[in-house]
Amino acid sequence: MNVSVERRVAQVDVNLARWQALPEDLGDRYFLVNAAGFFVDLVEGGRRVGRYRAIVGRRDRPTPVFVADMTYLALAPSWEVPPGIARDDVLPRVKSEPRYLADNNMRVFDAATGSPVDPGSVDWSEVSSFEVNGRFRFREDPGPRNPLGQVKFVFPNRHNVYMHDTPARQLFDQSVRTFSSGCIRVESALDLAVHLLESVPGWPRARIEEAVALGVERRIDLPAPYRVYVQYFTAWVDEAGIPQFRDDIYGRDGTGESERATRPELAAAGLDAFGGATCLD
């Protein structure tokens, strides 16, 4: 209520430009991720068949805007630690906590050869943040504490962003869900996997659950890709015709003094207007 009419009009104008930048026909089956609304819609046959609460990137590591095709999912995924987290998070913890890697079910590999490395053979105090990614790769094996949870949904893109489960499911109860490092954590991920694999022979729910419990990563290709629109709408009209407004969590609307103005030429291009932050979780 404490928002001027002029500001609401500007907000609507910005979001209309975002919609207009998308294709007129979004396709027969697709995902619409609204980072500002914290939800993921699944549309099939022209109607919404599912809405899932989502966790998106923090303000300092925002989820980018782009479009890609989901082609496969991974059950019991391992987590390849991205360079940013290896440098800024893992290395400092390894230096200060000798059991950090073991306690987090994490293995080390030679960056050049891919061969396993015994963490005890490395003098971590001598490894700098500038060289760690040139020498090592870190991988967290599948398990109940793995940050990707039970399933990962992959739509290859230059941002290395994907959707995935999470062991921290209590975070879905928060109203503002900016907790990730860029990727999209999706509620009820296992149920979503079951739905996507309904037409894949040999993958009923029981077998999916068995594969997850086995703890060995398993890739399953989808019969046909799903288009994934990762977007940022702070204003829209819902199915009941009621206008919905959300906070501009990333400062992209350009309607406040501290917010970054939307660049018209990028909005017109539409499909990759805001990027630069790769997924780190």
Q: Report strand pairing: 163-164 vs 184-186.
A: parallel
pLDDT of amino acid 257:
34
Annotated domain spans of the chain? 5-72+149-269, 79-140
Q: Take residue 146 and report the two structure tokens written for it.
A: 């793995």
We find that the CATH architecture of domain 5-72+149-269 is: Beta Barrel (2.40)
279 a catalytic residue: no
pLDDT of amino acid 278:
55
183 a catalytic residue: yes
CA distances from 62 to 55, 146, 178, 205 (A): 11, 22, 8, 33
pLDDT of amino acid 92:
97
pLDDT along the chain (281 residues), means of 10: 83 93 94 98 95 96 96 96 90 95 94 96 95 96 92 95 96 96 95 96 96 95 96 93 94 59 40 53 65
Question: pTM for this one?
Answer: 0.86
pLDDT of amino acid 268:
39
pLDDT of amino acid 274:
53
pLDDT of amino acid 275:
53
Integer Cα distance of 90 and 83 in angstroms? 10
